[in-house]
Structure formats: C-alpha cells, structure tokens
Amino acid sequence: MSPVIPFSERPQGDIVCLFGPCSLFQPTQTGAASRDVDGTLTPARRTASAEILEVLKQVRAKAVIGFVGGSDLPKITEQLAVHGQNIQSFLNPHHNPVTDDFDFCFAENGLTAIKLGEELDSASFIKFIGEEKYKKMVKFILHYIADLDIPIKRGTFIEFRNGMINIQERDEFEKYDKESKVRATFVEELKKEFADYGLTYSIGGQISFDVFPNGWDKTYALRHIEKENFKEIHFFGDKTYKGGNDYEIYMDSRTIGHAVQSPDDTIHELKTLFQL
C-alpha cells in the first residue's frame, strides 16, 4: 500500500464522496444478482472496471472517498475487491485490500466503520431489540415465508448481521417480485405486526430487504463523517426513491445527493464534479 495523502493536503480535501458500493463493476457471472450493493459502483455480482477504478483513483487524489452499504463488510469487499483481495487480507499489511482503496468504509449502514484502515465504534441490532423480541420476529418471518406461494424457494431467508437482519430469496425471485410486489407486501405486514419495535424496513438490492432500528439507515454513517467537518458530503446511490435503502442519506440535509443508475452515470457525475 502506498502512503495515503492526509485529507488536509489534498486539493479538495474538505469534500467527501460516499458511494453505494455497486456503481462500478463489470460482470463476472451472467445474469447474477447481488443482495445489496447494486447499481452505484457495481452492477450485481460484478467486479470493478479499469475505467471506474481510474476515476476513483483520480478523485481520491483530490478529495476524500468512501463507501456505505447495507451488507456486512465481507460481502461488500467481495464486490469492491479492486486489487483482487478479499477481506482476509485486511489483516496482512503486505496486501492491498479494499479497505486500503477507500478513506472510509461503512458496512451495515455504518455500524461497522473503518477510517484509513482503523476500525471505529460499532453498534449491535441484537442489543437494541433484545433476544425475546428478536425470536418473536424471526418466528413470524419464517412462518410468513413458508406460506408464500412463489415459484422457487431457495433463499437463505434470514441473515443476521451486526446492525440489522436481512430477509432474502434467490436470484430467480427478482423477476417474480417485480410483478407481484412480494417484498413490498411483506414489509407492510411486518410494519403492522411489529409497530412498537421502533424498526425501519428498507428494500434494497434485487432480492432482499433490510430491517434495522429507526435511524440506523445509511445516515448512521454520517455521524462518523460529521466529525471531520467536511465542507461538502456527496452521496451517490441508485435506490434513492422512497423505500429504497439509499433514500434517507440521499435526502438528508447534510448531503448533496446524486441519483445514478449505472457505473457510467457515476463516472459522468465524478468527472463533472471534479473536472477530470
């Protein structure tokens, strides 16, 4: 890893750009779909193109960059492994993992946070909700999924993460959900059943949705960013519509939002913003 230029020594070091991680990549599998970080840096299940990596490198030479995604860190770095390294190499200083290529790394909406390779404070979903409420909710979810009449059932169904739970199906589910709105209906049922839990439900990616405490959406990452006193905080995301998992941070008064639908959109926005 080459030495990192301090923020204060970068020409526009008072500007930070945060990315929903999926706006940068070319396919490694035809037709595959990612769970969470879709559209902003990388299309689903893809790896970064040479063009977007070069643009990010140019931006980082001028300003500060970071990613913020809902998935856990290993899943995000699987897609953002720009040097072909996975998260295990984070422990080896002779490698160049994804955490070396971004100034800020926010997984699980910022509940897992890294600044310049150093871990910041984290928080826990299970501590917030409590074991009994968690078990009640999981039981309801599994019963609901069992009763769903969908073409194929192959999913993990519930994935527990540090700061949330993720309810998901498999790739074949995506097309069916677009027509039948299974996720949207499921979310409405959960809102009614657990109205007193203080939870937010956010549809993200192509086959899943997240459940997390109110305020633990992607704006959670901003509490780490605010400490740096940046003049501008830019956010680039694709799920910026109401109910999408980029909506809250995109609309937040502290950020300048950029709605992008592809890596090409991200490149265009960055080249315009930084006159690259």
Binding-site residue set for alpha-D-mannose 1-phosphate: 45, 161, 170, 208, 210
Residue the block writes with tokens 């979903």: 125
For 141, counting Cβ atoms within 10 Å of its Cβ (0-12 exposed, 13-18 middle, 19+ buried), the class is buried
d(CA 100, CA 1): 7
Binding residues: 36, 38, 45, 161, 170, 208, 210, 238, 250, 252, 255
Catalytically active residues are 36, 38
Taking 3-state DSSP, the helix, strand and coil percentages for the chain, each rounded to the nearest 5, stand at 35, 20, 40
Binding residues for Mg(2+): 36, 38, 238, 250, 252, 255
Element (H, E) at 157: strand 157-160
DSSP 204-261: ETTTEEEEEETT-SGGGGHHHHHTT--SEEEEEES--STTBTTHHHHH-TTSEEEE-S
